[in-house]
């Protein structure tokens, strides 16, 4: 490599690192240093309210037919990490529809996060009474399933939406919903800016949802590279027979030039192979600059650490809940 191209490569490397850092900043805003007196207060709050408290706002926009939910802040969250802290974020959905859900950004190492995020659900006013708003606080964990710290459930029939609502509520223990779980997948991402090469290593999956009558599946993973929302490249793993906890350790590489890394997304779909009928999709996960939550977090960590494989566990989601909406 000549001196000029070497210098260019260094510039690319730096640009990608900075890009990764900018995404990380989006995912995890800086948490202001707590005064010692305040952190003491936080501990008392934790003892008194075991799981913590959440402040939220509600309003209904009659013109657009939307319920507006504000996730403001949480206080005295229970610490789920060994270090005595958590990396909290909030999932918001309106039962009985769990498929349309929103997530806040992840806040690092804090039990008193300030979220300040707003979400909208399009629901006709007459149907609101039968809905239940769920605001579930989770602890983000890269290496295992994200743990639920607790949740707040608000039956909409109990809320007077004639004027905006601002309230604090205690978190309650979240019920376990194993029947809704599709399973988890672990894969690593590695980007080499100088070569314009993105490598995805599909490592393993666990607790996959049973798709066959016999209670086991023959799972394999499809890896799609998307550009501007369109699938441009496709790879797939081998099929693992009769298992809900397959181990793959299979690597796939894609050419992604530096100037395109913001426009691409990687989608992994776990399918159950069926020799006779149609292969059935179990669930999917997406990572990229346009993904939210853990998908953006993983992508940001990859970009901030060029050349290093970064592994992370992701929970599989139903197929219709993954791809980001195209820009209006």
Q: Enumerate domains of the chain plus CATH numbers.
A: 53-178 (2.60.40.150), 181-316 (2.60.40.150)
Helix (H, G, I), strand (E, B) or coil at 314: strand
Q: What is the pTM of this model?
A: 0.55
CA distance linking residue 181 with residue 177, whole number of Å:
7
Give the start-end residues of each E strand in 110-183: 114-122, 132-139, 147-155, 165-170
Helix (H, G, I), strand (E, B) or coil at 251: strand
From the list 257, 328, 317, 273, the residue with the least C-alpha distance to 292 is 317
Q: Report which of residues 66 and 25 the model is more confident about.
A: 66
- Put residue 176 in one of left, alpha, beta given phi > 0 → left and psi -120 to 50 → alpha: beta
List pLDDT tens digits, range 170-210: 999 877 654 468 899 999 999 999 999 999 999 999 989 88
**Is pLDDT of 72 > 90?**
yes
pLDDT at 45: 37
Q: How far is CA 255 from CA 98, 135, 276, 320, in A?
A: 36, 40, 35, 27
List pLDDT tens digits, range 97-137: 776 888 899 998 899 999 999 999 999 988 888 889 999 99
| The most confident of 3-17, 34-48, 161-175, by mean pLDDT | 161-175
């Amino acid at each position: 490599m000549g001196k000029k191209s070497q210098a260019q490569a260094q510039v690319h490397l730096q640009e990608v690192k900075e890009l990764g850092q900018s995404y990380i900043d989006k995912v995890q805003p800086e948490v202001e240093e707590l005064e010692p007196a305040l952190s003491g207060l936080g501990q008392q709050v934790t003892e008194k309210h075991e799981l913590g408290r959440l402040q939220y706002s509600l309003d209904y926009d009659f013109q657009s037919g939307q319920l507006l939910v504000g996730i403001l802040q949480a206080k005295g969250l229970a610490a789920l990490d060994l270090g005595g802290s958590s990396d909290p974020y909030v999932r918001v959905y309106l039962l009985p529809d769990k498929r349309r859900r929103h997530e806040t950004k992840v806040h690092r190492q804090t039990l008193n996060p300030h979220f300040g995020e707003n979400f909208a659900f399009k629901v006709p006013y007459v149907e609101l009474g039968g809905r239940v708003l769920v605001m579930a606080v989770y602890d983000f964990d890269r290496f295992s399933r994200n743990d639920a710290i607790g949740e707040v459930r608000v039956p909409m029939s109990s809320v007077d939406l004639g004027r905006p609502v601002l309230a604090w509520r205690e978190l309650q223990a979240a019920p376990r919903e194993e029947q809704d779980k599709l399973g988890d997948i672990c894969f690593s991402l590695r980007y080499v800016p100088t070569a314009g090469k993105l490598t995805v290593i599909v490592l393993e999956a666990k607790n996959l949802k049973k798709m066959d009558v016999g209670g086991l599946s023959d799972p394999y993973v499809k890896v799609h590279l998307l550009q501007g929302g369109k699938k441009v490249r496709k790879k797939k793993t081998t099929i693992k027979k009769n298992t809900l906890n397959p181990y793959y350790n299979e690597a796939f590489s894609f050419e992604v030039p530096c100037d395109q890394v913001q426009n691409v997304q990687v989608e992994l779909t776990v399918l159950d192979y069926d020799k006779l009928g149609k292969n059935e999709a179990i669930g999917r996960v997406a990572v990229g600059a346009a993904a939210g939550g853990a998908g953006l977090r993983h992508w940001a960590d990859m970009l901030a650490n060029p050349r290093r494989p970064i592994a992370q566990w992701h929970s599989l989601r139903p197929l219709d809940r993954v791809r980001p909406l195209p820009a209006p």
